[in-house]
Structure 1
Amino acid sequence: MSPGPALAPDTTATLRPRTVAASRRTGWVMVLTGTIGWLASFQLTVDDWRLLRDPAYQPPCNISPVVSCGSVMSSPQGSLLGFPNMLLGLGAFAAVAALGVAVLSGARLHRRLWLALDAGALVGVGFVHWLIAQSLYELNKLCPYCAVVWIVTIALFWHVTVHCLERGIVPVPRGVLYVVRDTHGMLLSAWYGVIALLVLTRFWPYWSSLL
């Protein structure tokens, strides 16, 4: 009896490449958000160190009774994990910028690395929104450098998420993908608009006094 036909090897695992390239737009977003976030975190770290050495030191971001970062840095919310929050930013944003440079150089990152980056950005967004709530409704202060970190963290999360959806790293229904891809700029603008509206209404007595 002749042997039956050989079974074809299972190629399912090879249909989905382990490494995924990214557009230059995604690479530039990573480089810019990582660099800007790192610079803001660095300035906060320098000011925090100077405050520790000299409690009378006035950081340059202490602009008014509302727009100020000195009291924010010295608050319990400024050291949620037992050390200054900006130290997290120094490490995280440096890694994002380095990965962005790699993407712009043509590197293809592993799917798990993209997932880890997106998950880390999601955690960062959650942390940022907690800080926004604390700043507006507990500390009653608006820290300029902190606001910069808020902006770049949201932008990083949104663009990396869109990338993961477009490349199939995070599977979603095709209809959802089309909506996100076609309106991602508008959705991000709306996200920023809600935060700006919260800041405007929370400190409206102060803003109106400047008019």
Structure 2
Amino acid sequence: MSESPTRPSRTGRTPGTTADTGVSDARHAPVLPDADAKNLTSRTLGWVLLVAGAVGLVGAGWLAIERYLKLIDPDRVAACTLNPFLDCGPAMASWQGAILGFPNPFLGVAAFPVVMTVGVVLLTGARLPRWFWLTMLAVTTVAMGLILFLVWTSLYVLVVLCPFCMVVWAAMLPIFWYQLVHAVQERYLPAPEGLRRLVVDNKGTLLAVLYVLLVAWVFLEMGPTIVEYLQTV
């Protein structure tokens, strides 16, 4: 008995072909751009926290050592005393240099290893809960506020720049900014969708703008004084 011929489907295709299964359609479908291609990945955030945390630890650690040596020998000239405008001494001797009753660098020595550890955890592929990120962002925001206060103190009260303090300033900016970007991206913080995409898609550019603003602030306030001093040398 002969087999009956296979009857075509309503689409005009023989059942069982790749056209019916949709494989062919998917294969030839246009490739759409990935809307999340510019998102901040956990790996990138991990590297930022690890590297910036290490830089901050170097700056804070050196300041802590200098402060300890100064306590042992009050007449010692700090290694970061370079000229009248680059000197760690005034910052370490001021009350702002020990805002909690002990030298500020000790805060960095304790905090930056925590930041580095979080970076390493992210690089292993682990996912941390929302409450952890919000807590860490809150602490980092307070730390960033302290940094801005110390920048203001250096420019308007002491009128001198602390080299290793500036290392810590530079390290704190990406630590704070990329945590903020992450919180906005993951909707841990409320933000309009347009603002959210603007921040996430332009995170690197906006970080560069923050650095430019910080450097401009320093030069606008210290520049004329430095130029006047150099003219008298």
Shorter-chain TM-score: which interval? 0.7 to 0.9
Checking the alignment, whether the CA contact within 8 Å between 2:140 and 2:176 is kept in structure 1 is yes
Return the match for 2:135 from 92, 116, 124: 116
**1:207 CA displacement:** 4.3
Aligned match of 1:206: 226
Task: Let me know the Cα RMSD of the aligned residues.
Answer: 1.7
Give the secondary-structure state (helix, strand or coil) at the position aligned to 2:202: helix
TM-score (norm 2): 0.78
Return the match for 2:213 from 177, 184, 194: 194
Aligned match of 2:85: 66
Give the secondary-structure state (helix, strand or coil) at the position aligned to 1:55: coil
**1:181 CA displacement:** 1.4
Give the secondary-structure state (helix, strand or coil) at the position aligned to 1:109: coil
Letter aligned with residue 102 of structure 1: V
2:65 counterpart of 1:41: no
**1:58 CA displacement:** 1.3
2:182 counterpart of 1:163: yes
Letter aligned with residue 78 of structure 1: G
Alignment of 1:28-177 (within 5 A): 28-177=47-196
Tell me, in whole angstroms, the C-alpha distance in 2 between the residues paired with 1:53 and 1:190: 41
Letter aligned with residue 184 of structure 2: L
Tell me, in whole angstroms, the C-alpha distance in 2 between the residues paired with 1:102 and 1:162: 19
Checking the alignment, whether the CA contact within 8 Å between 2:177 and 2:207 is kept in structure 1 is yes
Q: Deviations over 1:72-116 (max 9, x none)?
A: 111111001111111111111110001100110111111111111
**1:22 CA displacement:** 5.0
**1:184 CA displacement:** 2.0
Q: Percent identity?
A: 36
Q: Deviations over 1:98-150 (max 9, x none)?
A: 11001101111111111111111111111110000000000111011111111
Moved over 3 A (4+): none
Letter aligned with residue 67 of structure 1: L
**1:60 CA displacement:** 1.3
Structure 2 stretches lacking a partner, 5+ long: 1-39
Aligned match of 1:7: none
Tell me, in whole angstroms, the C-alpha distance in 2 between the residues paired with 1:116 and 1:141: 34
Letter aligned with residue 206 of structure 1: I
TM-score (norm 1): 0.85
**1:203 CA displacement:** 1.9
The size of the alignment, in residue pairs, is: 191
Rg (Cα) greater in structure: 2
Tell me, in whole angstroms, the C-alpha distance in 2 between the residues paired with 1:188 and 1:106: 25
**1:171 CA displacement:** 2.7
